[in-house]
């Protein structure tokens, strides 16, 4: 069964396939204890409880609903460490990036938390909410939400897991692009066309270096609290310096995300919700497939996409042409198995397939083999693949 959307998608019986999955990660036994321990023993920083006083103005950042993160647990752990700070000195900010303001009821945060604090539901297109904080050495302008500029301390929560052009998620991303201006985020994302802005690469990655430099230039005390995830399992937590603690999280996650396999004629990729919620999100599944695809081969993306494509120009140009296409070989075919009508899929970079069975049948014709080598990457967005041999 493949992750697909509201229900799993069966893999057709009688089709021979290799399945490539990462080694199973050991789940953390007690998430609350792991978060508290990370905050008490931070990387490259003092414990958070020692950083803030009753007079400190704090922003605690959580992700939007497009990411499956334990937001309530992350917030609660940060709040325990910030016990000396009164409620009216704590702002809760939603790192929507370019996605637009998030429905608060989808965040999984207790209603009393939303009532107790000022909540900033970030809108990257709201010029009045932005403060200009300078320019990075790569020319990215830094406009961030006013709540960051007005804070003494910014605590960014999130999740360390593979990301196709920032290398890994989490870290500085909660602040920028999370609370950045739409145009400035797009400027940073132009760096995804650089081959060094690549899946699984945290250091010497132009895109990540730019956003980390940008957050440093903002000139506010920053602090990280991230869970570390592999294969949909939380295996630990890290806290402390925005860069150093993030790299420790990468070190923890990598053994459970790095995989290798010989390239295949056909690569099938899938993911459960929320990654399979829209083509905007599901496009992240294509780079792992492309790395392991033979020239002239076929990628089959299985994602129900109940939320549709997402903004078409962004999906086709900003995501696919700019960042995803370079992972694919010179010659390829890409099918999308989804719940969207054919007319909708035709507007995207993908080719419509009514079912996984139909896509596999077409793949056999394209590669010219009655029994092509089929490689299946379930939860492909959790993998950092490499070609074997």
Q: What pLDDT, on a 0 to 100 scale, did the predictor assign at position 163? A: 95
- 318: CB partners within 8 A, 6+ apart: 186, 189
Instruction: Give the model confidence (pLDDT) of 290-345 as tens digits.
Output: 999 999 999 999 999 999 999 999 999 999 999 999 999 999 999 999 999 999 99
pTM: predicted TM-score of the whole model, two decimal places: 0.93
Q: What is the dihedral of CA 127, 131, 77, 379, to 10 degrees?
A: 50
Q: What pLDDT, on a 0 to 100 scale, did the predictor assign at position 214? A: 95
Q: What pLDDT, on a 0 to 100 scale, did the predictor assign at position 95? A: 96
Peptide bond into 274 cis (omega under 30): yes
Mean pLDDT within 94-111: 91
Q: What pLDDT, on a 0 to 100 scale, did the predictor assign at position 303? A: 97
When mean pLDDT is compared over 13-17, 218-222, 252-256, the highest value belongs to: 252-256
Q: What pLDDT, on a 0 to 100 scale, did the predictor assign at position 231? A: 87
Domain at 18-22+257-387, CATH homologous superfamily: LarA, C-terminal domain (3.90.226.30)
- Each domain of the chain, given as residue ranges in start order, spans 18-22+257-387, 31-256
Mean pLDDT within 192-204: 95
pLDDT at residue 67 tops 90: no
> Could you tell me if 304 and 344 are in contact, meaning their C-beta atoms sit under 8 angstroms apart?
no
Q: How far is CA 242 from CA 42, 43, 102, in A?
A: 11, 9, 24
Mean pLDDT within 154-164: 96
Q: What pLDDT, on a 0 to 100 scale, did the predictor assign at position 14? A: 87
Residue 328 burial by CB count (10 A; 0-12/13-18/19+): exposed, middle or buried?
buried
Peptide bond into 177 cis (omega under 30): yes
Backbone torsions φ then ψ of 123, nearest 5 degrees:
-120, 110
* DSSP codes of every residue in 102-128: PPGGGS---HHHHHHSEEEE--TT-GG
Q: Could you tell me the pLDDT band of residue 389, with boundaries at 50, 70 and 90?
A: confident
pLDDT at residue 143 tops 80: yes
> How many percent of the chain have pLDDT more than 90?
94
In the chain, the largest separation of any two C-alpha atoms, in whole Å, equals 71
pLDDT at residue 234 tops 90: yes
> Could you tell me if 294 and 332 are in contact, meaning their C-beta atoms sit under 8 angstroms apart?
no
- Domain pair 18-22+257-387 / 31-256, same fold: no
pLDDT at residue 108 tops 90: yes
The CATH number of the structural domain formed by 31-256 is: 3.40.50.11440
Q: How far is CA 263 from CA 22, 213, 329, in A?
A: 16, 36, 11
Q: What pLDDT, on a 0 to 100 scale, did the predictor assign at position 270? A: 96
> Could you tell me if 132 and 180 are in contact, meaning their C-beta atoms sit under 8 angstroms apart?
no
Instruction: Give the model confidence (pLDDT) of 18-39 as tens digits.
Output: 999 888 999 999 999 999 999 9
């Amino acid at each position: 069964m493949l992750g697909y959307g509201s229900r799993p998608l069966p893999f057709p019986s009688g089709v021979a396939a290799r399945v490539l999955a990462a080694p199973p990660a050991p789940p953390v036994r007690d998430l609350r204890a792991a978060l508290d321990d990370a905050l008490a023993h931070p990387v490259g920083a003092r414990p958070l409880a020692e950083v803030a006083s009753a007079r400190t103005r704090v922003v605690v950042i959580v992700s939007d609903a497009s990411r499956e993160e334990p937001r309530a647990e992350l917030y609660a752990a940060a709040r325990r460490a910030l016990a000396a700070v009164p409620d009216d000195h704590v702002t809760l900010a939603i790192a929507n990036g370019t996605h637009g303001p998030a429905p608060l009821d989808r965040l999984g945060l207790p209603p009393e938390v939303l009532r107790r604090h000022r909540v900033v539901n970030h809108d990257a297109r709201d010029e009045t909410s932005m403060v200009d904080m300078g320019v990075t050495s790569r020319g990215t302008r830094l406009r961030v939400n006013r709540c960051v500029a007005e804070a003494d301390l910014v605590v960014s929560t999130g999740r360390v897991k593979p990301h196709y052009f920032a290398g890994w998620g989490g870290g500085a991303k909660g602040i920028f692009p999370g609370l950045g201006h739409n145009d400035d985020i797009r400027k940073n994302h132009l760096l995804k066309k650089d081959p060094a802005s690549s899946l699984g690469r945290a250091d010497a990655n132009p895109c990540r270096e730019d956003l980390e430099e940008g957050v440093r230039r903002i000139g506010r005390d920053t602090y990280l609290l991230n869970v570390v995830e592999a294969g949909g399992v939380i295996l630990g937590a890290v806290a402390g310096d925005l860069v150093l603690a993030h790299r420790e999280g990468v070190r923890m996650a990598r053994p459970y995300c790095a995989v290798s396999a010989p390239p295949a004629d056909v690569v099938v990729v899938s993911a459960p919700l929320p990654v399979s919620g829209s083509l905007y999100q599901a496009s992240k599944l294509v780079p792992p497939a492309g790395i392991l695809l033979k020239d002239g081969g076929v990628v089959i993306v299985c994602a129900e996409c109940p939320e549709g494509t997402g903004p078409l120009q962004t999906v086709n140009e900003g995501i696919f042409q700019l960042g995803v296409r370079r992972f694919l070989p010179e010659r390829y075919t890409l099918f999308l198995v989804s719940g969207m009508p054919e007319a909708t899929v035709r507007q995207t970079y993908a080719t419509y397939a009514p079912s996984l069975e139909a896509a596999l049948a077409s793949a056999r014709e394209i590669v010219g083999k009655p029994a092509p080598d089929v490689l299946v990457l379930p939860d492909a967005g959790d993998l950092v693949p490499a070609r074997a041999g």
